Chains A and B, each alone.
Chain A
Amino acid sequence: MNPIQQRRQEYRSLFKQNVKNRLLVDKAVKIVVFSCVIIAIIPLGSILIEVFKNGLAALSIEFLTQIPGAAGSSGGGIGPAIQGTLIIIGLSSLIGIPIGVMSGIYLSEYEVGKFAKSVRFFTDVFMEFPSIVIGIFAFLVIVLVIGSFSVWAGAFALSLIMFPIVARTTEESLKMVPHTYREAGTALGLKKWVITFRIVISAAKSGMITGILLSVSRIGGETAPLIMTVLGSSQFFHGFDTPMDALPLRIWRLSLLPYDNAQGQGWGAALVLIIIILGINLAVKYHYMNKGDNMLTTLIKNRGNRR
């Protein structure tokens, strides 16, 4: 073998070794990444299994309809909490959705200049405000003023969490409507608000409904702002200016009690809450399965796509 051939041989083996090492590293990284995915899925599985397993044991007609019993007793239920969650979701939707939709319309149809830009910026940042600070705000402007913990304060706090989500999803879905639709409306001599409501919104309906449902599922599970606004109670609803119970609050109270019965009831309440919230999410997902893209992903994607 002459020296050139020898060197060639050497390089060939080096090359082979190099490729081998790189493929090994690649394989190792693949395994690590895959195990990370599994690690993230485990808590989800564990939460769902525990909630369903322990929650189903607590469920019964009495549990769903009766008022809570004395602490630690096996009787009693979460009727007021379910009723309260439904009332507070309804009331805050009544406040939050119109404001959210209108400000979405503003951002998409009337957006001009710096003011609109700052509105969008603050809407985005407000979406991420700690919910407990929003609760304190509602406490300061409503509870302190009328002098008692009330349903109004809770609904106001939750509407503040809700409206930025509705506003931004409304904006994104309105922007997806082709401009020619609006021009067709103008050509027919329609007023701007007629165009917006009859043409643009009816074309963008499904995206808006998705956003609204997601915001409802978000506020349904909010606990922190409810502590200092509706406070919680063990009675059924009796007036908008009095304290009320809600499922997340009831779960919190039950989880703090040291009795096995209370923990079982906590799981039951968690099951009811998770069924409401995952039901909404799965419905949205199913709705979009036939339609392609996910609304929230679109929202993230379009962050960079602003005029």
Chain B
Amino acid sequence: MANANLAIKKRRILSDKAFKIGATLAGSYVLVVVALMAFQLITQSAPIWEEEGLSFITKTDWNAVEGRESFGALPYILGTLATSAIAMAIGVPLSIAIAMFISDAPPKIGGPLGFLVELLAAIPSIIYGLWGLLVFRIYFKDWIETPLHNMFGDNVWLFSGNPFGLDIITASVVLAIMIIPTVSAVSREIMKAVPQQQREAAYMLGATKWEMFKLAVFPYSKTGLIGASILGLGRAVGETMAVTMLIGNATGIGAIPSSLFAPSQTMSSIIANEFVEASPASLHMPALIGIALILLLIAVVINVIAHVLVTKMLKIKEGAINN
């Protein structure tokens, strides 16, 4: 009898151990994938680093013709920076305003409205691209770009360049629309995390709604809001399809952003455009993989910062409520 019990116990321990090992393996999967990804990207892009060295980052040539191959990533890095910076400048204020409205509205209005904005996040990038290419671009060109160009084109370099619709500003505006759901959803949660007592204290001092936000909500949620915007920046940097369809796809020195109405190219869009045609034997593919490596590094740094800021903010909230 005792033996039988022992045998059951042993079997139980064995199956539980197998389960634990299985779960741990699944948990480690992400670490293995990240390590393998870093290894693959580094080894596969090695030829370009050997050939160009660090000047790969600072050069502006882009020539894939055999025998005259020369690659530099600078225009695409600048393109990515320009589009995401403009997208942030437009998208973040809008998102924070939306978060203010929703966090303050009664749940009957705020709930459905929040859901509508979140639906924007569910729409695939390719559909934003299609809409941007066939609808938005036309109106934007006729109503905003052309008037701006006619008024300021000769004097302000920002508005020089022929407005055609396939350019930095169109891509950036669509990008701004795409980051609004992310930034506003996270900002809303962060504003909701501000203790109700703080708001009530501000109201009790006679503050209006805007003064309440200035006195009680913003100082308290500053870190978290910055984190939310950086999370949006991470999205904007990695975004591919909509940008590829709208940015005009220049290469080489022509892709350096010269005005808001000039075509350019981002790191992700040059990969999307050229990767399939690049031959693994030439330097073309290592160059594209090298760009992917730079893109990954930038995205990881941005996301780690955002992650730390948002987590820190929400932790403070826990402490405030418990005390």
Chain A residues at the B interface, C-beta cutoff of 8 Å: 22-23, 25-26, 29-30, 32-34, 36-37, 39-41, 43-44, 46-47, 50-51, 98-99, 101-103, 105-107, 109-110, 116, 118-119, 121-126, 128-134, 136-137, 139-141, 144, 160, 163-164, 167, 191-193, 196, 217, 220-224, 227-228, 231, 248, 251-252, 255, 263, 266-267, 270, 273-274, 277-278, 281, 285, 296-297, 300-301, 303-306
Contact A252 B241 (CB under 8 A): yes
Query: Which A residues lie within 8 Å of B31 (CB)?
Result: 118-119, 122
Contact A278 B119 (CB under 8 A): yes
B160 at the interface (CB under 8 A from A): no
B36-44, B50-58, B67-75 - interface stretch: B36-44
Q: Identify 19 residue pairs between A and B in the complex whose beta-carbon atoms are under 8 Å apart, listed by A's number.
A: A26-B210, A36-B98, A43-B136, A50-B135, A51-B131, A103-B23, A103-B27, A126-B34, A130-B296, A141-B36, A163-B29, A192-B16, A222-B124, A223-B126, A223-B241, A224-B240, A255-B245, A300-B189, A304-B315
Query: Which A residues lie within 8 Å of B211 (CB)?
Result: 22, 26
Query: Which A residues lie within 8 Å of B30 (CB)?
Result: 103, 119, 122-123, 126, 163-164, 167
Contact A126 B208 (CB under 8 A): no
A181 to B195, CA, bound (A): 32
Partner of A281, one of B95, B101, B122: B122
| Extra 20 A-B pairs, beta carbons < 8 Å, given A221-B123, A300-B310 | A29-B210, A40-B177, A43-B177, A103-B26, A105-B23, A107-B27, A109-B23, A122-B30, A128-B231, A133-B295, A133-B299, A136-B289, A222-B124, A224-B240, A224-B268, A251-B130, A255-B129, A270-B130, A277-B123, A303-B310
B157 at the interface (CB under 8 A from A): no
Contact A296 B185 (CB under 8 A): yes
Known: A103-B29, A124-B307. A130 touches B127 (CB 8 A): no
B141 at the interface (CB under 8 A from A): no
Considering the complex, give the chain A residue whose CB is closest to the CB of B94: A36
B93-131 interface code vs A (CB 8 A; 1 in, 0 out): 111011011100000000001011111101111111111
Contact A132 B101 (CB under 8 A): no
Known: A119-B27, A223-B241. A231 touches B276 (CB 8 A): yes
Pick the most buried of B123, B134, B186, B268: most chain A CB atoms within 10 A of its CB. Answer: B123
Partner of A193, one of B15, B97, B209, B235: B15
Contact A130 B238 (CB under 8 A): yes
Query: Which A residues lie within 8 Å of B125 (CB)?
Result: 221-224
Pick the most buried of B27, B94, B271: most chain A CB atoms within 10 A of its CB. Answer: B27
Partner of A270, one of B25, B127, B239, B316: B127
Contact B16 A251 (CB under 8 A): no
B11-26 interface code vs A (CB 8 A; 1 in, 0 out): 0100110011011111
Known: A50-B135, A130-B238, A270-B130. A36 touches B101 (CB 8 A): yes
Which of the four size classes fits the interface of chain B? 35 or more
Contact B304 A125 (CB under 8 A): yes
Query: Which B residues lie within 8 Å of A303 (CB)?
Result: 310-311, 314
A187 to B95, CA, bound (A): 50
Query: Which B residues lie within 8 Å of A306 (CB)?
Result: 311
Contact B311 A304 (CB under 8 A): yes
B3 at the interface (CB under 8 A from A): no
Contact B122 A132 (CB under 8 A): no
Contact B22 A102 (CB under 8 A): yes
| Distance to closest chain B CB from A26 (angstroms) | 4
A174 to B271, CA, bound (A): 39
Contact A36 B93 (CB under 8 A): yes
Considering the complex, give the chain A residue whose CB is closest to the CB of B135: A50
Query: Which B residues lie within 8 Å of A221 (CB)?
Result: 123-127
A144 to B278, CA, bound (A): 13
Contact A125 B208 (CB under 8 A): no
Partner of A228, one of B12, B15, B276: B276
Known: A192-B20, A223-B241, A248-B124. A99 touches B29 (CB 8 A): yes
Known: A22-B211, A124-B307, A130-B237. A273 touches B98 (CB 8 A): no
Contact A301 B189 (CB under 8 A): yes
Contact B123 A47 (CB under 8 A): yes
Query: Which B residues lie within 8 Å of A116 (CB)?
Result: 27
Contact A193 B19 (CB under 8 A): yes
Query: Which B residues lie within 8 Å of A98 (CB)?
Result: 26
Query: Which A residues lie within 8 Å of B24 (CB)?
Result: 106, 110
Contact A217 B98 (CB under 8 A): no
| Distance to closest chain B CB from A76 (angstroms) | 18
Query: Which A residues lie within 8 Å of B135 (CB)?
Result: 46, 50
A266 to B117, CA, bound (A): 25
Query: Which A residues lie within 8 Å of B268 (CB)?
Result: 130, 132, 224
Contact B29 A122 (CB under 8 A): no
| Distance to closest chain B CB from A166 (angstroms) | 11
Contact B275 A228 (CB under 8 A): yes
Query: Which B residues lie within 8 Å of A285 (CB)?
Result: 115
Partner of B303, one of A29, A41, A128: A128
Query: Which A residues lie within 8 Å of B272 (CB)?
Result: 132, 224, 227
A102 to B134, CA, bound (A): 43
A281 to B34, CA, bound (A): 29
Contact B97 A137 (CB under 8 A): no
A20 to B140, CA, bound (A): 39
Partner of A50, one of B131, B186, B235: B131
